[in-house]
Chains A and B, each alone.
Chain A
Amino acid sequence: MNDSDPIGTQPAQRPYSFLWIALFVFGAVGIAANAFIRPEGMARRFAAVTTEERVLVEEVPEKAPEKVPEKVPEKAPEKAPAPAAAGDAGGDAAAPEPAATEPAATEPPAPKRKWVAPTDPGIASGALRRVEGVTPITWETREVLKPTEVEPRKAELVAGGPVRIESSPIDSLGIWIAALLTLFILSFVFRDNPFYKIAESLLIGVSAAYWMVLGFWSTLVPDLLGALAPGFVRANAIPSLPASETPTMDAALAFIPLVLGFMLLWRLAPKGGWISIWPIAFIIGTTAGIRLVGSIEADLMRQISRTMEPLVGFKDGVVNGELIRTFDFWGSVGSVVGVVGVLSVLTYFFFSVDHKGAVGRTARVGIWFLMISFGSAFGLTVMGRITLLLQRFEFLFTDWLGIS
């Protein structure tokens, strides 16, 4: 094998080449005809584009009611304060005296600022006012439409409004790429080929990066960085990150997963990979602790209690207006089957005793229960697998070819 062979080619096998050529030509002609001749086209997409705009406003502070100015005491602060009078100056008695002789002026708090739409009713009513010198921010949002959805949406549009319908080449291209990638992977059922390998490589690269991005933005930024540097995260990524009551403690505690995280990544280093054992031990320990209780509670105790049902069942019924209890034959059969099944299957999995005699016969009954279970599981699995393929065909016929 040639070491510099980039795609690992194999000797070509070309059986029935004439048939394949005819199939490809016919397919290409059919797709071209579908794409260009049909009025709504093939895999064409449109977009309802809405222009959004936001302006920076600040809340207009309410006018405070006029008050009679209070007499401010002129004594020096080192003297003991006079006994509190009617309570007017009680709260100010211990406060340091201001240096100026005029009444203390309290700064009004800075008005809250926020971004709103220019049509926000608060601006018109005067509760909000635009901040001068700040350019409004505009952007467009796009909703993808199929060709059949265009006319109904156009009928809903308001002339001169912020929404317009236009062709969307990027989404049309996306449908084509999705269809080609689907066909590349489906080609594997014929035989392994470079197209399948390209699609497989794309899948591995895209999915690994996608999961990493999701983990970073959904967990690492709010939970880790948000604890270590909340101000930075609030200013640059999550402005409404909730403020902690104990930021210093949170930051100190967050150093532990930070350090453990770096130790975990040390696994990739050529030397010192043993360092990753600490965070791995933490993960294993936490998992073991959670699962120990969860599995005993839900899978052991509850399942045993569900098995211990009465073997003779009764059901309530109404006869001639009277409530009576009657023997529930099928319910009783079900209970007996349940108990026999659970005990016999458990006997089968008990390998400390030889499966001979009564134990062997019971284990055999257990095998029968297992075979029926696996047969049923197979039937359900088949339905699932077929549905997956069905959905891909739906996409190819409906979204790509537009023939269904």
Chain B
Amino acid sequence: MLRRTVPILILASSGLLLFVSAFSPFTVGLQEIVLKWFNILAAVAFVLGAGNLLAVNLEQISSHRPGWAYSAITLAAFVGTLAVGMLKVGAVPNPMYPDVHFAGAHDDPQAPFGWIYGYMLVPLTSTMFALLAFYVASAAFRAFRAKNFEAILLLGTAFIILLSQTAAGMFLTGWIPEDSVFSFLRLDVIKRGITEYVQTAGMRAILIGIALGVAATSLRLIFGIDKSYLSKT
């Protein structure tokens, strides 16, 4: 009962409450309480993720698997950042309550925690995502093959968008007057037509399909038909 019935009841009652609250003003107060609990648990999930990171890396180090030194670096960075942040080391005092240490701003750029953000987290995160620019170029060269009509459609559209969203579009077709009969040949007009009509239609259909799927899945979960989450123990 504790492993199956109670979780099903918890899921059903919280889901139904949120659903009913969209239509009934009498349950809004309860909804606010439940949402507050949800936000708290979302923050606890950060702690869970950090705990999992600790567990995996500690295991890596203790078992001396190849590459365990990198796990040690991960742990050292984690513990250092955590200590500096949780203890608000070097935090800028709150001007209204300078005598209360933990009221200070630990994420101010001059505090150690803010320093870690500005000079470590920002360059690391930004550059990691910036690598994608190289791979999109490599993928364009190796994988984008116009082997059939559909692929030609895709590539042709990509060319139009790539040209029209830079100055090339202006150079190539910007000389065509906007109010002339041939204005539809301007790349910016074609781009607008593609994004506002064709792409919107395609994405709208996908959105409708996703919405139906979300609604069906949510109802299956709330009514206890889908119990797949129970097997994650």
Q: A contacts B directly in the complex (CB < 8 Å)? A: yes
Q: Give the interface segment out of A60-68, A155-163, A377-385.
A: A377-385
Contact between chains at B157 and A375 (CB < 8 Å): yes
A268 part of interface (Cβ distance < 8 Å):
yes
Q: Which residue of B53, B77, B127, B157 contacts A185 across the interface (Cβ within 8 Å)?
A: B127
Residue ID in chain B nearest A140 by CB atoms: B110
Of A5, A283, A373, which contacts B38 at CB under 8 A? A283
Q: Given A208-B50, A274-B3, A283–B134 Cβ distance below 8 Å?
A: no
Shortest CB-to-CB span from B50 to chain A, Å, is 4
Chain B residues with CB below 8 A from A391, complex form: 126, 130
Separation of A314 and B193 alpha carbons in the complex (Å): 18
Given contacts A278-B6, A372-B202, contact A285 B154 (CB under 8 A): no
Chain B binding surface SS class? helix
Digit string of B191-233 for contact with A (CB within 8 Å is 1, else 0)? 0011111111111111111111011011101100000011011
A281 to B38 alpha-carbon distance, docked (Å): 11
Q: Can you list 21 residue pairs at the A/B interface with Cβ under 8 Å?
A: A5-B66, A6-B69, A137-B98, A197-B67, A203-B128, A204-B77, A205-B81, A207-B124, A208-B53, A213-B113, A219-B39, A282-B10, A282-B11, A286-B18, A292-B222, A334-B196, A345-B205, A370-B202, A371-B154, A382-B136, A386-B136
Are the CB atoms of B53 and A265 closer together than 8 Å? no
Tell me which of A181, A208, A281 contacts B120 (CB under 8 A).
Answer: A181
Answer yes or no: A284 CB below 8 A from chain B CBs.
Answer: yes
**Among A141, A198, A392, contact of B127 (Cβ-Cβ < 8 Å):** A392
Q: Say whether A237 contacts B100, CB under 8 Å.
A: yes
> Is there an interface contact between A371 and B153, defined as CB atoms closer than 8 Å?
yes
User: Which residues from chain A sit less than 8 Å from chain B, CB to CB?
Assistant: 1-8, 52, 54, 56, 114-115, 137, 139, 141-142, 144, 170-171, 174-175, 177-179, 181-182, 185-186, 188-189, 197-220, 223-224, 235-240, 253, 256-257, 260-261, 264-265, 267-268, 273-274, 276-286, 288-293, 295-296, 299-300, 303-304, 306-307, 330, 333-334, 337-346, 349, 366-383, 385-386, 388-389, 391-392, 395
Return chain A residues, CB-CB under 8 Å to B162. Answer: 379, 382
User: Hey, which chain A residues are within 8 Å of B171, CB to CB?
Assistant: none
A253 touches B102 (CB 8 A): no
Q: Does B180 contact A (CB under 8 A)?
A: no
Additional 8 contacts, C-beta under 8 A, given A223-B40, A375-B154, A392-B123:
A239-B100, A284-B11, A292-B15, A293-B22, A341-B202, A372-B194, A373-B203, A391-B126
Q: Which residues of A contact B153 (CB under 8 A)?
A: 368, 371-372, 375
Known A-B contacts A189-B134, A212-B50, A369-B201; A219 and B43 likewise in contact (beta carbons under 8 Å): yes
- Given the complex, which residues of B lie within 8 Å of A207, measured CB to CB? 121, 124-125
A349 to B213, CA, bound (A): 12
Chain B interface (Cβ within 8 Å of chain A)? 3, 6-8, 10-19, 22, 33-53, 55, 64-82, 85-86, 92-93, 95-100, 102-103, 106-107, 109-110, 113, 115-134, 136, 140, 150-151, 153-158, 160-162, 165, 184, 193-212, 214-215, 217-219, 221-222, 229-230, 232-233
Question: In the complex the two chains form, what is the Cα distance from A54 to B18 in whole Å?
Answer: 48
C-alpha spacing A223/B39, complex, angstroms: 9
- Could you tell me the distance between the alpha carbons of A368 and B199 in the complex, rounded to whole angstroms? 11
Complex alpha-carbon distance, A164 and B82, angstroms? 32
Q: Which of A253, A257, A378 contacts B158 (CB 8 A)?
A: A378
In the complex, chain A residues whose CB is within 8 Å of the CB of B50: 208-209, 211-212
A50 CB, nearest partner CB in chain B, Å:
11
CA distance A206 to B119 in the complex (A): 11
Give the distance in Å from the alpha carbon of A170 to the alpha carbon of B204 in the complex: 51
CA of A378 to CA of B154, assembled, Å? 9
> Which B residues lie within 8 Å of A238 (CB)?
103
From A205, A281, A379, B157 is in contact (CB under 8 Å) with A379
Do A182 and B123 have beta carbons less than 8 Å apart?
yes
Report chain B residues within 8 Å CB of A338.
197, 200-201, 204
Min Cβ gap A77→B in Å is 44
A392 CA to B15 CA, complexed, in Å: 44
Chain B's nearest CB lies how many Å from the CB of A234?
9
Shortest distance between the CB of B97 and any CB in chain A (Å): 5
Residues in A with CB closer than 8 Å to B76 are: 205
- Pick from B67, B98, B113: contact of A6, CB under 8 Å: B67
Closest to A175 in B: B119
A186 and B133 CA atoms in complex are apart in Å by 11
Closest to B87 in A: A213
Contact of A212 among B75, B82, B126, B155 (CB under 8 A): B82
Contact B125 A197 (CB under 8 A): no
A178–B117 alpha-carbon span in the complex (Å)? 10
A330-B155 Cα distance, complex, nearest whole Å: 25
Contacts of A285 in B (CB 8 A): 10-15, 18, 221-222
Q: Which of B136, B158, B214 contacts A375 (CB 8 A)?
A: B158
Complex-state Cα separation, A349 to B202, whole angstroms: 11
Contacts of A304 in B (CB 8 A): 208
Q: Are A186 and B131 touching (Cβ within 8 A)?
A: yes
Q: Which residues of the other chain, A, contact B15 by a CB distance below 8 angstroms?
A: 285-286, 288-289, 292
B97 touches A115 (CB 8 A): yes
Q: How far is the CA of A239 from the CA of B100 in the complex (A)?
A: 8
Q: What residues on B are CB-neighbors of A349 within 8 Å?
A: 205-206, 209
- In the complex, residue of chain B having the shortest beta-carbon distance to the beta carbon of A180: B123
Q: Is the CB of A337 within 8 A of B103?
A: no
Q: For the complex formed, measure the closest distance between the CB of A193 and the CB atoms of chain B, giving whole angstroms.
A: 12
In the complex the two chains form, is A260's CB within 8 Å of B124's CB?
Answer: no
Question: What residues of B have a CB within 8 angstroms of the CB of A137 in the complex?
Answer: 93, 98-99
CB nearest to A341 among chain B residues:
B201
Q: How far is the CA of A253 from the CA of B29 in the complex (A)?
A: 13
Contacts of B193 in A (CB 8 A): 334
Is B48 within 8 A of A264, CB to CB? yes
